Chains A and B, each alone.
Chain A
Amino acid sequence: SSTACFNQETLQYRLQAVIEGARESWTYAIFWQSSVDAATGASLLAWGDGYYRGCDDDKRKLRGASTAADQEHRKRVLRELNSLISGAPPPAADEDAVDEEVTDTEWFFLVSMAQSFVDGAGLPGHALLTASAAWVAGADRLASAACERARQAQAFGIQTMACIPVGGGVVELGSTGLIYHNAEITGKVRALFTSGTDAFP
């Protein structure tokens, strides 16, 4: 696959270029990397890389729909992840390094790292299977989608989700705003992700 040529750094540049160069305000971009399970032969999409931009009203909508218990849980997970990355023991809750509340979209992006899609499951899997972009705009449409990930996205404040198949995987874009399908962004994603070499940038 051409994506075998993408290393982590060029993936990050590509995702960043999509988000920062877009006319629309996208909250995040994720590259789901395609592979085949050697044991079962099943097609698998798993986390390749992601770029989180956040949304302009992150600060105003810190809590979103989350409860105090949700926040406590999210902060504890972030403390543990910080510790895992740094190698230092996690700080006690009262000397918290993660004192800012974890927004719904931050949390959705974070839990995405642990997700995968088998044999065309989910919106990313569907896009890969059909080799065409899947675009869902509107909270109501996401909430009623036949896809757990789309419903989860809506529950965490995402209003628009687009999945665009590219060489070796699928690029997923999410926004807290309402963005209708446009060919410009899908074309841009395809161009950025099918150049197929590590010459980028």
Chain B
Amino acid sequence: EGDLPIARKKSLQRFLEKRKERYRSPTEL
């Protein structure tokens, strides 16, 4: 788990960042 392939790591990073933004936005609640 500590050695994710680079494609998965980038995808994961993007997914987690977007998720934080999505749930942070009060207009979407």
Instruction: List the interface of chain A (C-beta within 8 A of B).
Output: 8, 12, 33, 47-50, 52, 54, 59, 78, 80-82, 84-85, 100, 106, 109-110, 113-114
Q: Is the CB of B2 within 8 A of A84?
A: yes
Q: Is the CB of B7 within 8 A of A85?
A: no
- Cα distance A82–B18 in the bound complex, in angstroms: 12
Given contact pairs A84-B1, A84-B2, A84-B4, A50 touches B11 in the complex (Cβ within 8 A) = yes
- For B5, list chain A residues within 8 Å (CB): 47
Known: A54-B22, A85-B12, A100-B23. 5 other contacts (CB 8 A): A47-B11, A49-B11, A59-B29, A84-B1, A110-B12
Task: Please name the residue on chain B nearest to A99 by beta carbon.
Answer: B23
Q: Is the CB of A113 within 8 A of B8?
A: yes
- For B22, list chain A residues within 8 Å (CB): 54
- For A109, list chain B residues within 8 Å (CB): 15
Give the shortest distance, in Å, between B5 (CB) and chain A (any CB). Answer: 8
- Cα distance A85–B29 in the bound complex, in angstroms: 27
- For A114, list chain B residues within 8 Å (CB): 8
Selected A-B contacts with CB under 8 Å, 9 pairs: A12-B14, A47-B5, A49-B7, A52-B18, A54-B22, A78-B16, A84-B2, A85-B9, A110-B15
- Cα distance A47–B4 in the bound complex, in angstroms: 12
- For A82, list chain B residues within 8 Å (CB): 16
Give the shortest distance, in Å, between A135 (CB) and chain B (any CB). Answer: 24
- For B16, list chain A residues within 8 Å (CB): 78, 81-82, 85
Smallest CB-CB A-B distances: 6 pairs? A100-B23, A85-B13, A113-B8, A8-B10, A50-B11, A49-B11
- Cα distance A106–B23 in the bound complex, in angstroms: 13
Q: Is the CB of A48 within 8 A of B15?
A: no
Q: Is the CB of A106 within 8 A of B19?
A: yes
Give the shortest distance, in Å, between B20 (CB) and chain A (any CB). Answer: 8
